[in-house]
Amino acid sequence: MARWTFDDIPCQAGRTAVVTGANSGLGFEAARQLTLKGANVIAACRHRDKGREAVRRIRDESPNASIVSASLDLADLESVARFADEFLAEHRRLDLLINNGGVLTPPEDKTKQGFELQFGTNHLGHFALTGRLLPLILATQGARVTTVSSLAQYLGRIEFADLQFDRRSHQPWAAYGQSKLANLLFVLELQRRLDAVGSTVRSTGSHPGWTASDLTRNASPMFRWLEPVVAQKTPLGVQTTLRAATDPEAAGGSFWGPSRPSRAFGVAGPVRQARISVRARDAAVAEQLWDVSERLTGTSYVFVGSRA
């Protein structure tokens, strides 16, 4: 099978996409490539100035690019609610939501609402955002929700007794793995619930393998030293997300990642469907996590309306 590339992304003219964390790294590259294919992109960024700078860079390359920035702090559920309310008031369709933004092994901290920073940002922020935007997603023919997980999902565990690391010692990589496993559990549970109401909306997932980006700025010196040697460049790493988000053949519930095992077991290489861990396939855990996430975020998912 031929290698999937940017050229395989279908024309996105007339489609509206939200990309979280679009000011740098994979999010920036996803937003850039989608605009090159004609999409109307909303770059949802925590820092307003960085979002504007990202838009400027894309427009410098492509003056006719349809892209604007918007303020979204995934670590603050009030910010998530404001973004969603403003988006729903201003837009009549949402074809593609790319849940990309996140943090990796930062110093121990909490979100504004008191959740462990990585779980609260990477999972709960996106869970609340998707739920608030769901009515418009359901009403848009051919819509898709793509959530970016990580190789760390293979090592992650959902510790319901202590999701926020209030009682156990905070381990940055354990917290990251929990959040990324939660992302993939969300991908699969969302698809199950869409299927249950007969919706044609697709929920897909991806992981970028090891892709060089500023997300790793808090990682260990050894990790950062290895990155230039092992990691692939961002324009290649983002292909996993873009395939999950745009490939007509990417089924709901599919999970995409790099394919070259000769480079550290799938951290780089052409895009193919990736292995989903046993823990991510646990439907009972996914359902429990969903219920807990609705309670923690105050977000109720309503699967009614169009069967788009």
Residues annotated catalytic, as ranges: 176
Residue 140 in tokens:
């848009």
Q: How far apart are CA 280 and CA 180, in angstroms?
A: 10
Chain centroid to Cα 11, Å, comes to 21
Give buried/exposed letters for 129-140 (b at 16+ CB in 10 A, else e). bbbbbbbbbbbb
Q: How far apart are CA 247 and CA 236, in angstroms?
A: 16
48-61 and 25-36 are packed helices; what angle lies between their axes, rounded to 10 degrees? 40
